[in-house]
Structure 1
Amino acid sequence: MTTLKIAITIAGSDSSGGAGIQADIKTFQAHGVYAASAITAVTVQNTQKVYDIQEIRPNIVAGQIQCLFDDMDIHAVKIGMVSSIVLIETIADTLSANSLPPVVLDPVMISKSGYALLKEDARKALIQSLFPLADVVTPNLFEAKVLVQRDIQTLEDMKDAAKIIRDLGAKKVVVKGGHLAGEKAVDILYDGVTFQELSSERFHTPHTHGTGCTFSSAIAANLALGKSFFEAVTLAK
């Protein structure tokens, strides 16, 4: 008898439905994984712009997470937008109190339109509190640059960044290269021992809202289904 796999997304709500909690739930369901959620913030946004953000109270965020662990067998956790130190520490404390399945952390920092989604003083807390809990961290080039404090222009730069990010506490790293110049979109996967370059044809489209959320939640869904790290990322790509 097949057991239904369950994954939690811990992230912000996107009123346009293209990113955040909404994108994660759609992605989990597309993979045949039951979607549960803990909402960290309500955003006022459409596919073009983020207008405003209202954080959810930390005790409510913690309660959403804990009640799910109390009731369900959780097979994966995806963490997306967490904008403040108090929310980051609350989520870390709540998760640490439970036996954790694979955790995928998408270190969301800024929206496509330039709206800051992670407060500047919260970056250190993100690294110190959530990286050690993460089985996979999935920064894009901008986020990787912020994390490693250096420019990234080549695939070798991406590999160096992946090493540094793993040294910050993450077990495995996917540096997304979609914003790097070239005919193909190349991501760098690193598990602490082996690098893998994962390339695909570049899609020339303006409809990129929520692609990072969808990618990281697809990785989480595949991990919930028992796939290995490299297999989960390859299928997500």
Structure 2
Amino acid sequence: MKRILVVEDEASIREMVALNLKLAGWEVVEAPSAERALEQLHAGEPCDAALLDIMLPGMDGLSLCETIRRDDPDIGIIIVSAKGQEQDKIRGLSIGADDYITKPFSVSELIARVEALVRRVRRSAPDGRVAEPDQLVSGPFVLDEKSRVLYKAGRPIDLTQVEFQIMQLFFKNPGTALVREKILEGVWGKGYFGDVKIVDVNIRRLRMKVEDEPSNPQHILTVWGYGYRWNA
């Protein structure tokens, strides 16, 4: 069964979200604080996804996001922010969140987001077996689809699931200018509720990892007014 961590200090919201996720087939782990969430993550079975409210007592949701991502590069993370917290959304994406949703949100939208996120994280064959390992090579870079690690001149670079999928898209379209909307659809899926800013944030994060000089990128190039192009 799919397992999700829900971290929300308002009991009524947490219980409502948990109930609807359970009805949708999820095993739900509830936590009223970041500290309790970390205790449960360390003590129990791993989670496929985490839904983190930003405004929490004690450690906030952004610090929790960073801590979880440092320990688990594979878990899908959605942060929950209030309207007007644009900088919090950007920071959350920069430190490892895969998506964000704004309060107030509909339960159907939330479940759709969570399901879409986990589908992206679980790249498996139709019969449930993990797909056969493969490697994509582009210049000095090797993208290992089994370990989901990027290598640059033999040096491993750990990627989040979203970063990995963006690199897959680049490697399969070398030298091609990809419009932001194509990247959004290719990684986040059709019907994604968010906007293209999430692409730009992840590109900035990728440049910090793959470029020798992120301020003067040589591999992930900006096509002004359009999108991005991969150059090995």
TM bin (shorter chain) = 0.3 to 0.5
Bigger radius of gyration among the two: 2
Per the normalisation by structure 1, the TM-score is 0.42
Per the normalisation by structure 2, the TM-score is 0.43
Greater length-normalized contact order (CA 8 Å, ≥ 6 residues apart): 1
